[in-house]
Structure 1
């Protein structure tokens, strides 16, 4: 069973590399065929838990004292620190375990990492996907057959630059296919959701429209074919970008991010941005929320959508505050609020609907230039905080990046920890009670 409140593991994940990923792969045109490298197996070539790549890290000091603002806050049930790299997205899998994607360094440059854990945080398998170019994992979702869809980014070469990169695997991590998608300039993926038809939607930003920076959606079929694309911008006036996306009950998608509004010949202001489209890409609404606001993630119910991010209260140079906004199904604002934690910067990065219909959120605070703390909180449907929780209240560096609800009514958070003595960044996963 999971360890009880405030007990942690000596957290060294022993990972080894072997050649050969297996599974069918299709030709993807000009993109070099990726090399799949298993990070666990019998024919070990390279262990990632041996110096100088990583080291064992005891995180007991991170949770030596508990802080939360309300008595209803959950407890930390289990945690794991993995090899140096980054974990950008986590899910609970259909077998009760977990999978996460991020970035690792195995094939010579940055590579997409997919790691599968059991319910007790034991590593079952892990793969790196990529080629001779630089790739990174952005979002992972499980498909109906138990496999995985990974949205990533690839830097192909000096001519084609950054593109969307979509990888489809079976339940054991063997890839079926991979496809890049991009225009003549940069495309940056930021979020993905698997869609009810078995495909997926990826959102982010493109510069391939005459060099303008447009918010961008791409809808893929279950076989990786592009079904439609949709940019959003006001031309050369400023940057538009999506950072989060979710399926809408009844069909369609809501994406959130930011957009710049030109207020003079030399001045722009940034606003939070939300767009709803139908399943075929027809725009249903576009709305702004919050001057100097940036929306990072969105969660949907049948009655509306809650988006979270951060806002600069005075100008784009002042310290950021937490920001959350709730829209109704037609884009009207039901409430919006900023929350100042009394620190130099407060940032929310992900939100999910909790088992009781309220909203669980993760992010980070920066009490000083030398400290960052993971933060998790819960808001009700009126935007009132039910609890507010620092699971690692030390003076070290931790942050929350992505969260997922778990089958027991709790939730799991992926994020990071930075060793201040070496500036090495580790992947940090944390399981919380309901």
Structure 2
């Protein structure tokens, strides 16, 4: 464990006077310095974030990114019992290429990528990972720093060495959902905050500079629940967040909010059938030429007492007006989407009989279904959690299978524009408990996957895995 002196911690209390925005109470941006020992690719190390020296500094940023009202932040030191121990772990066994095991829908048996390196972090989880403009990486997730969960942002170099880390939040609990880099090299982070003891939660949004210092952070929501599930930075420097909202009547509606570059709400939309069915967005993407496409699930009432869940996709223009709203797959849900000028590929799960199967669908720019397929990979529930457009114009997908009730395995595949699997493999052995959560395409044509790994004591760790093209 290494204590780094001179690192700064900030508890940024930035109050915003924006429509539909509530200022967080006692908000903090807590810096966690890192253990600076080298992490070498091709080896396993567990990275623990140690406490840094707390200090106050003014919350600010570029003039274009300054909220209406700022208050002096307060520093919080993370030392003693809040410091985290670092451990090493042995390499995990490699997995197998499943192209020879499952021959369905193969156009060609293209060479699957190789695992170039990986890193293990504990404790914590990462719901989103990106490659940064300097060739490194950043991920967001959740980290318990001072007794409650906080939003965690960690910056890595190209070799997966920790460069710096921050935690953001309030005296309540927060969790990080998505991180994206902004055009000035800073970061936008979306998540949610639990506002009170009745588990009322709202959207939470943080804007930082390139080293993690927060320019501002805010919450957004109504009287009940607003739950963020995905976010994208928009071409105008703002962002769009999607998720779900619960009305006073208890109905859950799919929800999207467009924010400006300074956190002002520009517009918001909710989607529902007007009855008690549950609607939810789980993924969102910028549409080339303008607008956004969001995917998730919705419940449809098929009789007076029967509901069925379908995959759900909505496209809106840059002002939030609906261009299409369609369903896809009976007993299905969509978790992520990526967009090109010729269509939108979404992935998730479907329940054909019992237990979830992989599900993927491609929509046309007008909402028509170009293709859809499902795959029964395990016996106890399978799901695809993310999809990204690869540098060769195909799609890389991450997911998880459950061969037993207590076992999970990370599974990766590449699809072409027709939905044909070009390769399909497990990067780790079936005896190793792993899963897939988020992907990022890398500048070398490869990709990095964030997910989880659990050991024999059922302790979950964050697992990052870098793959060749």
Same fold by TM-score greater than 0.5: yes
| Maintained 8 Å contact 1:17/1:47 | no
Cα shift readout 1:234-260 (whole Å, capped 9, x = no counterpart): 122310000000000000000000000
Q: Does 1:8 align with 2:43?
A: yes
For residue 159 of structure 1, report the CA deviation from its aligned partner.
6.0
Q: Across the two proteins, how many residue pairs are aligned to each other?
A: 418
**Unpaired stretches in structure 1, ≥5 consecutive residues:** none
Q: Which residue of 2 aligns with 1:319?
A: 355
| Maintained 8 Å contact 2:58/2:72 | no
Q: Does 1:414 align with 2:450?
A: yes
Shift in alpha-carbon separation, 1:211–1:234, aligned structure 2, 3 A = same
Cα shift readout 1:216-273 (whole Å, capped 9, x = no counterpart): 0000000000000000001223100000000000000000000000012221000000
Secondary structure at the residue paired with 1:114? strand
Q: Counterparts of 1:22 and 1:285 in 2: how far apart (Å)?
A: 47
Shift in alpha-carbon separation, 1:400–1:282, aligned structure 2, 3 A = same
Q: Which residue of 2 aligns with 1:237?
A: 276
Q: Counterparts of 1:391 and 1:188 in 2: how far apart (Å)?
A: 32
Shift in alpha-carbon separation, 1:37–1:236, aligned structure 2, 3 A = farther
For residue 192 of structure 1, report the CA deviation from its aligned partner.
0.1
* Larger fraction in strand: 1
Q: Which residue of 2 aligns with 1:61?
A: 92
**Unpaired stretches in structure 2, ≥5 consecutive residues:** 1-37, 61-65, 100-108
| Maintained 8 Å contact 1:21/1:175 | no
Secondary structure at the residue paired with 2:92? helix
| Maintained 8 Å contact 2:67/2:263 | no
Q: Counterparts of 1:195 and 1:202 in 2: how far apart (Å)?
A: 10
Give me the TM-score of the superposition, normalised by structure 2: 0.84
Which aligned pairs between 1:339-350 and structure 2 lie closer than 5 A? 339-350=375-386
Q: Does 1:309 align with 2:341?
A: no
Secondary structure at the residue paired with 1:288? strand
Q: Counterparts of 1:35 and 1:67 in 2: how far apart (Å)?
A: 52
Q: Which residue of 1 aligns with 2:20?
A: none
Q: Does 1:222 align with 2:261?
A: yes
| Maintained 8 Å contact 2:57/2:72 | no
Q: Counterparts of 1:20 and 1:165 in 2: how far apart (Å)?
A: 24
Q: Which residue of 2 aligns with 1:141?
A: 180
Shift in alpha-carbon separation, 1:131–1:149, aligned structure 2, 3 A = same
Q: Which residue of 2 aligns with 1:431?
A: 466
Cα shift readout 1:334-362 (whole Å, capped 9, x = no counterpart): 00110111432111000000111010000
Q: Does 1:263 align with 2:302?
A: yes
For residue 33 of structure 1, report the CA deviation from its aligned partner.
9.2
Q: Which residue of 2 aligns with 1:83?
A: 122
Q: Counterparts of 1:36 and 1:76 in 2: how far apart (Å)?
A: 40
| Maintained 8 Å contact 2:314/2:324 | yes
Secondary structure at the residue paired with 2:380? coil
Q: Which residue of 2 aligns with 1:272?
A: 311
Q: Counterparts of 1:192 and 1:115 in 2: how far apart (Å)?
A: 18
Q: Which stretch has the larger CA shift, 338-347 or 349-358? A: 338-347
RMSD: 2.4
Secondary structure at the residue paired with 1:349? strand
For residue 3 of structure 1, report the CA deviation from its aligned partner.
6.8
| Maintained 8 Å contact 2:67/2:262 | no
| Maintained 8 Å contact 1:237/1:261 | no
